[in-house]
Amino acid sequence: MWVVYAFGSAFFAGVTSILAKIGIKNTDSHLATALRTVIVLVFSWLMVFIVGSQHSMADISGKTLLFLILSGLTTGGSWICYFRALQLGDVNKVVPIDKSSTILTMLLAFIFLSEPINGIKSAAMLLIAIGTYMMIQRKADSAPGASGYKWLIYALLSAVFASLTSILGKIGIEGVESNLGTAIRTIIVLIMAWAIVFVTHKQREIKTIDRRSWMFIALSGLATGLSWMCYYRALQDGLASVVVPIDKLSILVTVAFSYVAFKEKLSVKSGIGLTFIIAGTLMLLIK
């Protein structure tokens, strides 16, 4: 049954990118991120009360709390950069870069957590890197100049912050139940997101958000919450070494829905790149 939850996590994670892309079409990405985080926060704390881990809050050590806060800050940075990248670029180009955070995460885990990297993992990392590079290509009609690459900068920053989140989160989660740790991190993300909104005075735009944008922003937050619920349920009953790679296959869902929603077609080169990414991800299942 946990395998079903793992694939459910991948599905909802893939749909999140599409729903968010539609929701931020006519809305500032920072404001949309702050609004959807409210929904994610509700879901994360719902999970806490479902499993009953709220009673262990008093047992959280200072070190654990520190790393949870740090991972919350990097999570916020990743989300802010990711949705900004989605607003500026094509989903089929942004998502592969975000998923490539797997590579940096494994490297950081090797450096800071002494997690081994064998030949299979090295080959998987190489395939994911090559596949990601092949899927990054500017539109032929893009005007030359740095502006055409803004989405790429935000996407790369999103991947870096996501990798740091995984490492900091792993250290912080060691002393706390995973759902409670996620809920605490989400509070930090919410504060960070709304701080940026108020600093940039984007809160004034809330009243100008149209009904369609509201709906898709809410749905993207709902999809994220459902993805998290499925993901942690799968981790609770299944093998992490299997659950995590399956979750990364959400890129297939994103690519499929981006074609339906935005008519974004993959070129032959991008298709081969996607195949490499999938192959590298599946290789991570091999022990």
Segment 179-196 shows an average pLDDT of 91
Q: What is the DSSP string of 225-269?
A: HHHHHHHHHHHHHS-HHHHHHHHHTHHHHHHHHHHHHH--PPPHH
What is the band of 147 on the pLDDT scale with cuts at 50, 70, 90? very low
The answer, yes or no, to whether residue 137 has pLDDT greater than 70, is no
pLDDT at 286: 75
Q: Tell which residue, 131, 69, 108, has the closest CA to residue 280.
A: 131
The answer, yes or no, to whether residue 3 has pLDDT greater than 90, is no
Which of 52-61, 106-115, 128-137, 191-200 is predicted most confidently? 191-200
The answer, yes or no, to whether residue 287 has pLDDT greater than 70, is no
Joined tokens for residue 263: 């008519």
| Mean pLDDT over each residue of the chain, to the nearest integer | 86
pLDDT at 50: 86
More confident: 126 or 243: 126
Q: Is the alpha carbon torsion for 19, 21, 26, 27 positive or negative?
A: positive
In one-letter notation, the amino acid at residue 165 is T
Cβ(111)–Cβ(278) under 8 Å? no
215-274 tens-digit pLDDT: 999 999 999 988 887 887 786 677 666 777 788 788 888 888 888 888 888 889 889 999
72-91 tens-digit pLDDT: 999 999 999 999 999 888 88
How far is Cα 101 from Cα 32, in angstroms, rounded to an integer?
Answer: 23
pLDDT at 111: 86
pLDDT at 141: 40
Return the axis-axis angle of helices 178-199 and 211-237, rounded to nearest 10°. Answer: 150
